Structure 1
Amino acid sequence: MMQVGAGRDWPLAGGDVGGTYFSRLEDITPENVSSLGLAWDYPLYTNRGQEATPVEIDGVLVTSSTAGRAVALDAATGEEIWRFDPEIDMQANRVACCDMVNRGVAVDDGRVFVATLDGVLYALDFKSGEILWQADTHDGSGRGLSSTGAPEVAGDVVLIGNSGAEYDVRGFVTAYDVETGAARWRFYTVPHDPEAGPQENPELEEAVTTWDPESRWDVGGGGTVWDAIHYDPEFDAVYIGVGNGGPYHRAKRSPSGGDNLYLSSIVALDPETGRVKWHYQETPGDSWDFTATGPMTLTTLEIDGEETPVLLHAPKNGFLYVIDRRNGKLLRANALVFQNWTSGINAETGRPVMTPENADYSTGPKIIYPGTPGASNWHPFSYNPQTGLYYGAVLEMGNLMMMTPGQKPYKEKGINSDASLIFTPDLPAVLPGLPSFVQEAVKALPEWSRVEEGLDKSELRAIDPLTGETVWAAPYAGWQDRSGVLTTASGLVFAGDVRGFFNVYDAESGDLLKSIDTGASIIAAPMTYEVDGVQYVAVMAGWGGGGWPYVPRYGAAYERRNDGRILVFKLGGGETPKPDKLPPLEPAPAAPEDLFADASPETIAHGRALFFDNCAICHSNQHRSISPDLRRMQPYTHEIFNDILLEGLLVQNGMPSWGDLLMEEDADAIHAYLIGEQRRIRAVELELQKEGLPLDQPSAALLSNY
């Protein structure tokens, strides 16, 4: 049953019902892949991240893009059949932590299901794109919910979760009738305040005993199901991957401790009732953003002499889990990366052996491995039943984590994670700017030597799923360079990279067989299908997602326009056109001389704090950032600054209004801080220009002079 799909058609996001991202097509082989070239491409008219894998049925390719737009194309020619541009409340962008991405559509019985950023689930007609029904997926709480994941059909219901664990959301997943859109049931992943009355179901009554009665119920608890919803028809179960808690550290979220079910867990639900069949918590009492929301793979493996139905899962926390789909029993758990939050998994209990001396940052700054970007993340792995290997992007990296003293007040629809973190690749450069007591504490940590040695790396790996051992590895360019994977029965592995190359490897050896320079960063998983005897390989291209404002210098999106596209290849295809190169970087424009020239240090400090609390998650203020670099505002932008920030002048461009949270004096303080930054960076860049040096790589010494 796990082989249904991924033959001539690619009817599900993962290709088949197992979500293996494996295709049985064999026309493109190691011997002829050198002739692979572009068949056609399709512009998506956006510069935001592309994370979806298209679906293809009977010669029609359907996919989603920014914020939940959808399109259907002739799979052989790229000709547009229909396009769906929903009216989206772009205020939802304010509570989307990681770009306006969308991870795909579900297709079932002539219907296309897609969820939009503002939390609306649509059912569209497969042939025409007309709306059949729509459902508001909010729960009436008024919290900071958004939707970025792909829906999943399970029999006569379609399920969707939500995003926002860093904000103030209490996570849940909802099932809707596929024909009418009527809500059938809703499963909350964390309990509510027990003083507010009975929980919604018996499983939550049990879960609430794993939380402190005085938990931060006002914040919501987190546990969002923003990806990883998978239906298993063999056992009539829906598996959901649950996200991190909010606030991050359990000491603030649930002060007396506890496992905090069902955070960072895989939960098997009955698709008819929404009741729990079984659960397995990968990270009890999660304090490190170790979500369990990475895509799952369903297959059968021989374990201890028995053909066993298993679920493979490589979440953020650094382990590769093999779980029995019948009952949720842990069969294997092997480390994929260096980690210090635990010393391993107890095979008898299935629980991690915690190492609080290394990882409990409530007692002071700690360098935690793996970091919050995860040993793996949303980028789909591929399981190839012929080689028996699991192929995917694996990241060796950590981060420094710190916690502010006391409890921060609840911020409505605001970031409530209440922790500071710095990724280890940035830590040596950033550390001198931190308070001296933090510097001393960090340098005394045993992991500091690892940071200084620069051992961080990202790789495409072929992994033995039962041992976790790497059979072969191919390097990515850096920690932001990861992508989804496709494998085929002909022995090929397809994966893009952030540098802009679409790469094809030998599945057995890892040898690079073909590399196509597309000029576009690729992070999504490819797929393949056949029309009229021709095999095509398709992939979405466009930089974004987690860490999206920080465009890496090695990325194609740093050098060229970040034009979102669908790229489709075939044997004998042509050259792939590249987006235009961006113009050379010029010194930052001069800020108006008289604007906030007399701003006090207190005002600037207030503006800086507000900026990093509310704005920096999108506006990284780095060179070539996808969102505007606010150190480079033109004179007319300064004139309408408050109209943009408080009145929502550019809300349709994705810049939400903050007038409900910020007062005019707050906006002025942010503006004053940014003008100071603009004057500072302009002085640096004018000096670099005078010396004939590149503007995008100022030295720390030069910056310190300004």
Structure 2
Amino acid sequence: MIASKSSRILPWLLATFASTCALAASVVDNALLTREPSGAHWAGYGRTFDEQRFSPLRQVNAGNVKRLGLAWSLELDDVPNVTTVPLEVDGVIYFAAGYSIVHAVDARSGKLLWRYDPEVTKVGGQKLKTAWGSRGLAFWKGRVYAGTQDGRLIAVDARTGKLVWSVMTIAKDDNRYITGAPKVFNGLVVIGHGGADYGPVRGYVTAYDAETGKQRWRFHTVPGNPADGFENKAMEMAAKTWTGEWWKHGGGGTVWNAMTYDPEFNRIYLGTGNGAPWNQKIRSPGGGDNLFLCSIVALDADTGEYAWHYQTNPGETWDYNSAMDMVLATLPIDGQPRKVLLHAPKNGFFYVIDRATGKPISAEKIVKVTWAERIDLSTGRPVENPAARYPNGGARVSPANQGAHSWHPMAFNPRTGLAYIPVRESEDFYSDQGVDTKHWKHPPGMIFSTGLAPGAAPTDGPLMEPSSALLAWNPLTQQQAWRVPTPGEYSGGVLTTAGGLVFQADAGGKLNAYDAERGTRLWAGDLGVGTLSPPITYTVGGRQYVSILAGWMGGSTVYGKRSAAMGWVGREQPRRLLTFVLDGKGALPRPPHHTHPTPIDDPAFVVDAAKAKRGFIAYALNCLTCHGMDAIAGGYAPDLRASPIPLAVEVFDSVVRQGALAQRGMPPFADLGADDLDAIRHYLRQRARHDLQE
């Protein structure tokens, strides 16, 4: 009888327990994303709507952080890059890696719960020519939202990993793609796109119903052809700041990364990108501010109607995106609390902006800046150095186009009052010598092209070697609190906590914990590979965890030479999810392994110098983004100096022009002529022989 009674009760208990767990599941909505004081979850890109990347957790703190150890690791052998921000809700970690593949992982054990593959490599086509990967996703009421590289926005059930809905956000076969994280609020999910460097693209963002996927509103960031009419008064206003026939070049201004929702004003702030092409002499030959390039644009969150804008680079011509994170805070200014927006775009200034009006309160340089002397706060405009616009064909300019601060998110700690920014000191040479600016057209196909002379270099000495640092900056005083040099030319995104800590990964393969007040490094944990992704922290079962996706470089393979110098090169390097906890006893599956590809050569191959010169241009336009500067790879794509494929013309043609490896992420370059392909082969052999002799 006892056994019989137990057999009847046990299913009831299990069902009751399952029902209780379901009822206890956290509802991720405006309330949780506005203020989540427990720190239990990391449910948004910046944890909460303010994008501060600040956690109130203090179980791990400056006094005990040395006890942090690895809890578990999960190897990700089938994704090319992991430069993404994970989320955590109710003990499950969610992230999108590689070609927008969404994963769910148990936060206690590291067990993979489910994986949803949108099969981008089967449908992405020419959009696979970009190497940036997914930078994040969003969570709302039991669903995970992600953009795909081919331009879809997808909603996936967070419990099962099943697709709920999918919508194409771009036009068929255009040059747009998605790598940025969606933004979810008020039952809407908003997504932008990239692509302005790869063709005539006009930027926009689109809001969809989070439940159904139905489009609710769309806002363009630059005006189209005036003859077609304007979508709204904002576009009519913006068109007055352009000249020539800019719409034929697209204009640019894509929102490829940062968006911030402000629940206090019910606004969404868009961080817009550079012009298409970069060179303003081409897209707007008569000058002008070119709104809304390189701007923060504030919109009504429910309708998408324009509220205000602030442009960091009027008439920009250096790829100085304002697509970097925009952090919300309340600061005591002139004795009064002010609701402000903190912004550190590529151009090297740190801005404090009034969120109510969009007016700048202060702006100061955080790295070496030569394109402008200062920001005139009476007008909000930069006081430019005229020579920086390369009026005579070429100019040295700091920062370089990669920026003083790129997509790697900064953090703000309201307890210390400091912003923590991964900064980069750099210099570039901008030149349009030999470029027909009056008749320039973007090359056919999805090819990286800027309206500048590819490969141009100064004749009066080498450019500054780029370097990186973690900078602690006081927004009130606009002064440095401390600065710590970091290895390589990039360092990772930042997390800060109430435990008095700042966490950041670096190119040397370490996850570091710094004292938030003084910048002293208190702990470093091995990741086994150089890493740029930002960490997150959360609690499960009363324990605080720190998780990070580790893997080298992602979309920064343009600088393959410097990546290769760190030794994190090639497909053999790990991509993994690592989680740390106090007194963790785990060990890396394999120790760090630095590799340096060895170029190979065919002694019978006779290099034609003229073909090699032409091949350099063709390589720069078609191959550089994935396979690296000077043909030295620094990421998942193979080093073509060390690959046997270019040695055989038929095999090289089948891969490059016919798409034999499309399912592995190598798209076909059907627009590339056989003569160009042959020229690239001569360039690669020339590079290989040069590097073998060094």
TM-score strictly above 0.5: yes
What letter matches 2:534 in structure 1? Answer: A
Tell me by how many angstroms 1:652 deviates: 1.5
2:482 aligns with 472
1:674 aligns with 2:684: yes
2:321 aligns with 291
* Structure 2 counterparts to residues 85-164 of structure 1, below 5 A: 85-89=117-121, 92=124, 94-95=126-127, 99-140=131-172, 142-164=173-195
Verify the 8 A CA contact 2:72 2:109 in the aligned structure 1.
yes
With over 3 angstroms needed to count, the CA separation of the structure-2 counterparts of 1:655 and 1:457, relative to structure 1, is same
Equivalent-residue separation in structure 2 for 1:259 and 1:6 (angstroms) = 45
1:228 aligns with 258
Tell me by how many angstroms 1:74 deviates: 1.3
Q: 386, 390, 398: which one pairs with 2:419?
A: 390
* Structure 2 counterparts to residues 561-600 of structure 1, below 5 A: 561-577=572-588, 579=590, 587-591=598-602, 593=604, 597=606
Q: 501, 522, 528: which one pairs with 1:519?
A: 528
Listed one character per residue, the Cα deviations across residues 231-288 of structure 1 (whole Å, up to 9, x for unaligned) are 1111111111000001112112100000000000001112222111111111110111
Listed one character per residue, the Cα deviations across residues 37-65 of structure 1 (whole Å, up to 9, x for unaligned) are 11111122246332222111111111111
With over 3 angstroms needed to count, the CA separation of the structure-2 counterparts of 1:138 and 1:89, relative to structure 1, is farther
With over 3 angstroms needed to count, the CA separation of the structure-2 counterparts of 1:530 and 1:93, relative to structure 1, is farther
What letter matches 2:574 in structure 1? Answer: D
1:17 aligns with 49
Verify the 8 A CA contact 1:50 1:65 in the aligned structure 2.
yes
SS at match of 2:249: coil
Verify the 8 A CA contact 1:47 1:563 in the aligned structure 2.
no
1:377 aligns with 406
Tell me by how many angstroms 1:89 deviates: 4.1
2:449 aligns with 416
Equivalent-residue separation in structure 1 for 2:664 and 2:273 (angstroms) = 29
* Structure 2 counterparts to residues 160-239 of structure 1, below 5 A: 160-168=191-199, 169-195=201-227, 197-212=228-243, 214-239=244-269
Tell me by how many angstroms 1:93 deviates: 7.4
Tell me by how many angstroms 1:73 deviates: 1.3
Equivalent-residue separation in structure 1 for 2:74 and 2:37 (angstroms) = 25
1:649 aligns with 660
Equivalent-residue separation in structure 2 for 1:622 and 1:47 (angstroms) = 21
With over 3 angstroms needed to count, the CA separation of the structure-2 counterparts of 1:293 and 1:29, relative to structure 1, is same
Equivalent-residue separation in structure 1 for 2:63 and 2:639 (angstroms) = 47
2:625 aligns with 617
Q: 372, 378, 394: which one pairs with 1:348?
A: 378
What letter matches 1:542 in structure 2? Answer: G
Tell me by how many angstroms 1:676 deviates: 4.3
Verify the 8 A CA contact 2:82 2:533 in the aligned structure 1.
yes
Verify the 8 A CA contact 1:92 1:146 in the aligned structure 2.
no
Equivalent-residue separation in structure 2 for 1:641 and 1:6 (angstroms) = 56
Tell me by how many angstroms 1:178 deviates: 0.7
What letter matches 1:231 in structure 2? Answer: Y
1:663 aligns with 673
Equivalent-residue separation in structure 2 for 1:43 and 1:584 (angstroms) = 19
Listed one character per residue, the Cα deviations across residues 121-162 of structure 1 (whole Å, up to 9, x for unaligned) are 10011111110000101135x421111000001212101110
Equivalent-residue separation in structure 2 for 1:374 and 1:585 (angstroms) = 27
Tell me by how many angstroms 1:533 deviates: 0.8
SS at match of 1:552: helix
Verify the 8 A CA contact 2:190 2:208 in the aligned structure 1.
yes
- Structure 1 unpaired stretches of 5+: 423-430, 685-697, 699-706
SS at match of 2:282: helix
Equivalent-residue separation in structure 1 for 2:224 and 2:81 (angstroms) = 34
SS at match of 2:684: helix
SS at match of 1:608: helix
What letter matches 2:425 in structure 1? Answer: E
Q: 349, 356, 360: which one pairs with 1:330?
A: 360
Tell me by how many angstroms 1:625 deviates: 5.2
Verify the 8 A CA contact 1:113 1:124 in the aligned structure 2.
yes
With over 3 angstroms needed to count, the CA separation of the structure-2 counterparts of 1:339 and 1:421, relative to structure 1, is farther
SS at match of 2:347: coil
Verify the 8 A CA contact 1:301 1:308 in the aligned structure 2.
yes
With over 3 angstroms needed to count, the CA separation of the structure-2 counterparts of 1:241 and 1:591, relative to structure 1, is same
With over 3 angstroms needed to count, the CA separation of the structure-2 counterparts of 1:514 and 1:240, relative to structure 1, is same
Verify the 8 A CA contact 1:219 1:416 in the aligned structure 2.
no
Verify the 8 A CA contact 1:6 1:16 in the aligned structure 2.
no
2:279 aligns with 249
What letter matches 1:645 in structure 2? Answer: V
1:606 aligns with 2:614: yes
1:533 aligns with 542
1:68 aligns with 100
SS at match of 1:362: coil
1:499 aligns with 2:508: yes
2:72 aligns with 40
Listed one character per residue, the Cα deviations across residues 488-513 of structure 1 (whole Å, up to 9, x for unaligned) are 11111111101001111111111111
What letter matches 1:207 in structure 2? Answer: A
Verify the 8 A CA contact 2:222 2:292 in the aligned structure 1.
yes
What letter matches 1:279 in structure 2? Answer: H
**How many residues get paired?**
652
Equivalent-residue separation in structure 1 for 2:651 and 2:569 (angstroms) = 28
Listed one character per residue, the Cα deviations across residues 436-479 of structure 1 (whole Å, up to 9, x for unaligned) are xx51xx45xxxx8xx57x6x532111110123211111111132
With over 3 angstroms needed to count, the CA separation of the structure-2 counterparts of 1:311 and 1:421, relative to structure 1, is farther
* Structure 2 counterparts to residues 385-464 of structure 1, below 5 A: 385-404=414-433, 405-407=435-437, 408-412=440-444, 413-420=446-453, 439=459, 442=460, 456-464=466-474
Verify the 8 A CA contact 2:147 2:154 in the aligned structure 1.
yes
Which shows bigger deviation, 529-538 or 215-224?
Answer: 215-224
2:518 aligns with 509
Which shows bigger deviation, 642-651 or 60-69?
Answer: 60-69
Tell me by how many angstroms 1:541 deviates: 0.8
User: What TM-score, normalized to structure 1?
Assistant: 0.88
Listed one character per residue, the Cα deviations across residues 156-184 of structure 1 (whole Å, up to 9, x for unaligned) are 21011101121221111111111111111
1:301 aligns with 2:331: yes
1:633 aligns with 2:643: yes
SS at match of 1:210: coil
Verify the 8 A CA contact 1:340 1:355 in the aligned structure 2.
yes
With over 3 angstroms needed to count, the CA separation of the structure-2 counterparts of 1:600 and 1:532, relative to structure 1, is closer
With over 3 angstroms needed to count, the CA separation of the structure-2 counterparts of 1:263 and 1:461, relative to structure 1, is same
With over 3 angstroms needed to count, the CA separation of the structure-2 counterparts of 1:534 and 1:218, relative to structure 1, is same
Equivalent-residue separation in structure 2 for 1:529 and 1:562 (angstroms) = 28
Verify the 8 A CA contact 1:93 1:100 in the aligned structure 2.
no
SS at match of 1:217: helix
Tell me by how many angstroms 1:15 deviates: 1.1
What letter matches 1:255 in structure 2? Answer: P
Equivalent-residue separation in structure 2 for 1:87 and 1:109 (angstroms) = 25
- Structure 2 unpaired stretches of 5+: 1-30
2:3 aligns with none
Verify the 8 A CA contact 2:571 2:638 in the aligned structure 1.
no
Verify the 8 A CA contact 1:48 1:544 in the aligned structure 2.
no
User: What TM-score, normalized to structure 2?
Assistant: 0.89
